[in-house]
Structure 1
Amino acid sequence: MSDSSRRSFLRGAGLIGAGVAATGALGAVSAAATPSSAAGWCPDPNDPRFTLVVMPDTQYLFDEDRGDAAPLDASLRYVLDGGEDNVVFLSHLGDLTEHGEAGEIAQIGHSFQALDHNRVGYSVLAGNHDVNSSTDDQRGSTPWLSTFGPQRFRSSPTFRGSSKDGYNSYHVFRGGGRDWLVLALDWRLSPAGFDWARSVIQQHPKTPVILTTHELAYADESGQASLSDYGQRLWDQLINDNDQIFLTLNGHFWPPGRAVLRNKAGHDVHVHITNYQDHYYGGSAMIRLYRFDLARNVIDVSTISPWLLSQNSARLNELDRREIELTGPVNRFTLDIDFTARFSGFAPGPPPVSRPARDVLIPGTLAYWRFDNGPAAGTPFADGLVQRDLSGHGNDLVRVTMPGSNASALTWSADFHSGAPAHGSLRFDGGKNPGHGAYLKTVDGAPLNSADFQHGYTIEAFVKVPGDFKNGLHAWCGIFSRLCRGRDAGKTCDDPLEPAATLALSDGAQFQWAVFPLNQAGISTCWGHELPLDQWWHVALVNSGQHTSMFVEGCQVLRNPKTPAVGISGTGNWLLGAYDYDLTVDQGFYGWIGDVRIVNRALSVHEFMLR
């Protein structure tokens, strides 16, 4: 959401002038603190994009007869009224108040009633200014415990329990279709507190854990974070041995910073410190937004002040303008996390299950080849070996080795796309300048060699491109091609020496489908986009009998021609893993090819082999 749209939204929520409505004196409550229906807070637990809101030290806003609750109220209202997409939880990092006095605690407790009344999931923890800093979680009764102890969270949708002393709690929220556990730990853990925290993790052995506490790390002026003395205790006694903890959040120190530490399991733990109390207006109740995107495997992090965003920009003073949104590498950044890989040690996903050929042989299947029936990975695909067409139509494949190439140019592989029916593939080690490699060719007399597909077709393949593909030796290597010139099919436009049909990869690793249709004199071309390397892709070419579209991973690409294209011209053997020009194969494919299926009709996306 842009700054302007955020401001418009918050004006509509009644936050303009909130700073004027607040008196700034202890016990006074701004208009923004009044609970409302919070129709905007309705998180989608299955959306792969969700937001965790983090609120650091607010102590200067609640400081005896000084301070102002309006900034905090605006931040809470931002969560309540949907100022941020799909907020699933809010974590306060401690030092809610300056002295931990009953009046200060009562005032901020009143502000948080807006979340209570609307059953918003959130956690709080005690910082050194909220309690006697020389004590640990066995300190007994305090105003903080009376206001923010476990009794407050009985109606919370995320609260799951607390330590016996009441100063440590844990919460579980749902985002991206899975549970996430938040540990909210006291300023100082006792031995009993450490035991409790470890027991919570042990009771949730498959749940990722975000650890929140007031003190863990501090940072230098460059933003490089290091563990404090107490933080080292937390690391040694809790974090290092518990692989589920992948993210830690703390306040207390400034400036903000971050670091990545490696735990005992050899996995990354992201350590973040965020605190803005040293900024103008006590930090303006600045919040840190952790936008999880499980589809992109990232967490996008930004830092804003909803209170300042809610105000008319013309009324902001010079210092206000500096605090609206903070940038730089410690305040606005992206974490790249392969969530599946990071959590695999304690929450492995279900292994992909291969599907039998009978499940893939849908009506209209003309040919289906899969490569999970070979010998050990790395073994050459033997000369003379026939790879059967499992459709039963006789479109079998045999190996052809290009001059100067050896047996290892085409080998069996155990690598596969996780959504493919078969758990196996072929590894092609071809190239050009000079052309080399090996490929498979349909046998002479195969019915597929004469098929014209005038009523439509779907061609699917699983392809993996190596990380060094873009070295100038593999551009335009063919994945699937008909050994027939356009000229032989009566075509006179474009380059009639090009093959009648070719699915290839450009020098930028883009899929291209180039075909001489029955109804055109020239070539009709579908283009994909540039692919990230060293990973599997599913590509499908779907012709309705009139138009052709390319799909990558089940998603239709942009550059599909609108001009009618009927069928595929010419007759000739089909080549898997090679490109030909003027009937000469001059380049072998470089990479992996998995299951390939040809169907005599247009398939819908849900009918693709991809799962």
Structure 2
Amino acid sequence: MKKKINNLMIGILLTLSLSCKEEKSFRIVLLPDTQVYSESYPEIFQAQTEWIVNNKDSIAFVLQQGDITNHNVPEQWKVAAEALQHMDNIVPYALATGNHDNGEKGHAGTRDLSYFNQYFPFDRYSTMPYFGGAMEAGKLDNYWCKFSGGGMDWLVLNLEFGPRNSVLKWADTVIQAHPQHKIIINTHAYMYSDETRMSPDRSHHWLPQSYGLGKDSVDLVNNGEEMWEKLVKKHANICIVVSGHVLNDGVGTLVSEGDHGNNVYQMLANFQGGVEGSINGGNGFLRILTIDPKQKTISVKTYSPHIDEYKTTEEHQFILTNASF
């Protein structure tokens, strides 16, 4: 009888433990377009990652969203590496690359990420416990990571600026191999500032096809709408797509239904120089996503550790309700 009671108690405790794990909310931090910090304001970049380190216990993952540097030169990569690698072995993070990280002086005339892979070497990041795999051995041009949050397994796909068809096919195989994971896509150019995905049909600027690397007529480059059609909408477990790149007011949010009836939460956030109202290349503003599976919400806040201030207007601080994961 005593043994049965003990077994029953163990079962109850395990159930309660799993239940608590499932209900716990978690945070993801987004670092969009850090390019001007790498060029002119290293102290702001350091303030961002220092704040993340100081709040490590409440942050499950960090995503840098491309345009790590402004002109793709060693001096700027050194600043970026010092700031971002401050989080090494403390908070898991992943990087997407942008147009300013490609080619000579960051003009994206060619798809060349040599400096990126020099300052963020595959041999270093492939040993991290959250590293999953890469499309090409020895390169982080396109790679995936994994983490746990809210009692769920998550997979982050970090895709190049204007992902080529071959990259989308690779991403498709990774997603198919992980049907039980919730998928986040981290890429530089996807959403536009008019709450739609990037597309020439809506006369959008800064499309990947307008850069030199976008002229590849063999392995076609894809904008946001093409990524949606070819990859994102096809998978039931894709939950979130985040991007930067676009100027104007630098923000955009869209919830779309995929082919399987799943909601996909798509967000643009960009605070760099050139965005309306930007100061000091963005003044250190970053995005904080709090995901609460129990309440079915994604709470979005925009905060600057550099000036200790929140943006509180509705486009910068909002809650997505009835979020399905």
Task: Specify the TM-score bucket, using the shorter chain as the normaliser.
Answer: 0.7 to 0.9
Superposed counterparts of 1:212-611, under 5 Å: 212-220=186-194, 224-229=195-200, 230-254=223-247, 255=249, 256-277=251-272, 278=275, 279-309=278-308, 324-339=309-324, 343=325
- Answer yes or no: is the 8 Å Cα contact 2:23–2:294 preserved in 1: no
Does residue 188 (structure 1) correspond to residue 187 (structure 2)? The answer is no
Indicate the SS of the match to 2:154: strand
- Answer yes or no: is the 8 Å Cα contact 1:225–1:273 preserved in 2: no
Indicate the SS of the match to 1:152: helix
- Answer yes or no: is the 8 Å Cα contact 1:150–1:169 preserved in 2: no
CA spacing shift, 1:225–1:326, aligned 2, 3 Å: farther
Distance (whole Å) between structure 2 residues aligned to residue 232 and residue 225 of structure 1: 8
Indicate the SS of the match to 1:218: coil
Indicate the SS of the match to 1:273: strand
Per-residue Cα deviation, 1:188-213 (whole angstroms, up to 9, x for no partner): 22232112111110110111111110
Per-residue Cα deviation, 1:577-608 (whole angstroms, up to 9, x for no partner): xxxxxxxxxxxxxxxxxxxxxxxxxxxxxxxx
1:185 shift after superposition: 0.6
- Answer yes or no: is the 8 Å Cα contact 2:22–2:293 preserved in 1: no
1:298 shift after superposition: 0.7
Q: 1:107 aligns with which of 57, 79, 93?
A: 79
Superposed CA RMSD:
1.9
1:261 shift after superposition: 1.7
Distance (whole Å) between structure 2 residues aligned to residue 242 and residue 333 of structure 1: 26
Which amino acid in 1 is paired with 2:265? H
Indicate the SS of the match to 1:225: coil
Which amino acid in 1 is paired with 2:199? S
Task: Name the larger-Rg structure.
Answer: 1
Per-residue Cα deviation, 1:234-269 (whole angstroms, up to 9, x for no partner): 111111111211211000003201111222223221
Per-residue Cα deviation, 1:408-461 (whole angstroms, up to 9, x for no partner): xxxxxxxxxxxxxxxxxxxxxxxxxxxxxxxxxxxxxxxxxxxxxxxxxxxxxx
1:328 shift after superposition: 1.9
Q: 1:89 aligns with which of 61, 64, 69?
A: 61
After TM superposition, the score normalised by the length of structure 2 is: 0.79
Which amino acid in 2 is paired with 1:269? V
Distance (whole Å) between structure 1 residues aligned to residue 23 and residue 295 of structure 2: 13
1:338 shift after superposition: 4.2
CA spacing shift, 1:106–1:50, aligned 2, 3 Å: same
Q: 1:79 aligns with which of 52, 59, 68?
A: 52
1:69 equivalent in structure 2: 42
Distance (whole Å) between structure 2 residues aligned to residue 178 and residue 107 of structure 1: 34
CA spacing shift, 1:162–1:45, aligned 2, 3 Å: farther
Unaligned 5+ runs, structure 2:
1-19, 201-222
Does residue 207 (structure 1) correspond to residue 181 (structure 2)? The answer is yes
Which amino acid in 1 is paired with 2:102? V
- Answer yes or no: is the 8 Å Cα contact 1:50–1:85 preserved in 2: no
Which amino acid in 2 is paired with 1:177? G
Distance (whole Å) between structure 2 residues aligned to residue 179 and residue 199 of structure 1: 17
Distance (whole Å) between structure 2 residues aligned to residue 46 and residue 100 of structure 1: 42
Unaligned 5+ runs, structure 1:
1-43, 310-323, 344-611
Q: 1:51 aligns with which of 2, 27, 32?
A: 27
Larger RCO, structure (CA 8 Å, separation 6 or more): 2
- Which structure dedicates a bigger proportion of its chain to helix? 2
1:231 shift after superposition: 0.7
Identity value in percent: 28
Distance (whole Å) between structure 2 residues aligned to residue 103 and residue 45 of structure 1: 43
Distance (whole Å) between structure 2 residues aligned to residue 124 and residue 303 of structure 1: 19
Distance (whole Å) between structure 2 residues aligned to residue 260 and residue 122 of structure 1: 25
Query: Which contiguous aligned blocks of 4+ residues in structure 1 show a shift greater than 4 angstroms?
Result: 44-47
Distance (whole Å) between structure 1 residues aligned to residue 23 and residue 74 of structure 2: 40
Q: 1:129 aligns with which of 81, 95, 100?
A: 100
